[in-house]
Amino acid sequence: MIRFCSELFLGLSLALSAAAGTLPQSGHDEAVYYADAYAAHYQIPRELIHAIITQESGWNPGAISPKGAMGLMQLMPATAAEYGVQNPFGISENLSGGVRYLADLMQQFHGDFRLVLAAYYRGSRPILRCGLHYSGADVLAYVASVRRLYLAELALRNTPPNPAYGGNQ
């Protein structure tokens, strides 16, 4: 019930912003706006969200992976359905579902940056099945790449790294 109410509040806040004309007009500006809003709502560093979007889709809301992941945060169809995303190419909807999924992974893996990213890339079941470890060159490369992008985002904003999110690892 609390999650529903907070999501309703966020939706109403975004709708009021749109009605007041404070939403950005260009696609990239719109994506940044919603990424930052959902990051703040779910208390995930916006720099991490930006890094994941850069890695996953290069900020292309129409991106489709060879495995069928869609949109800015490259949601798989089952993940999109689980998080109520009906249009995975819709900027706000994709970011809402993707950031909420990331927040759930943060909770599930107690904020362990590497495990959260590995689970975002591979799915949480394989990470849990391996005893909270991950391997595979592709997973290691993904985690390292997102970490580099995250640190670059922090540097752009002159924000000190947070060790909880891979800043000193």
- All structural domains of the chain, each given as residue ranges with its CATH number in brackets, are 2-165 (1.10.530.10)
Q: Give the per-residue pLDDT at 60.
A: 97
Q: Give the per-residue pLDDT at 129.
A: 87
Q: Give the per-residue pLDDT at 2.
A: 45
On whether the CB atoms of residues 91 and 61 are closer than 8 A, the answer is yes
SS3 of residue 48 by DSSP = helix
Q: Give the per-residue pLDDT at 132.
A: 67
Q: Give the per-residue pLDDT at 81.
A: 97
Q: Which residues of 94-128 are buried (b: 16+ CB within 10 A; e: fewer)?
A: bbbbbbbbbbbbbeebeebbbbbbbbbbbebeebe
Q: Give the per-residue pLDDT at 39.
A: 97
Q: How far apart are CA 134 and CA 138, in angstroms?
A: 10
Question: Residue 5 is encoded by which pair of tokens?
Answer: 């109410």
Q: Give the per-residue pLDDT at 4.
A: 45
Residues of the chain under the 70 pLDDT cut? 1-26, 131-132, 161-169
Q: Which spans in the chain are helix H?
A: 2-19, 27-42, 46-57, 77-82, 91-108, 113-122, 124-129, 137-156
Known catalytic residues?
56
On whether the CB atoms of residues 25 and 32 are closer than 8 A, the answer is no
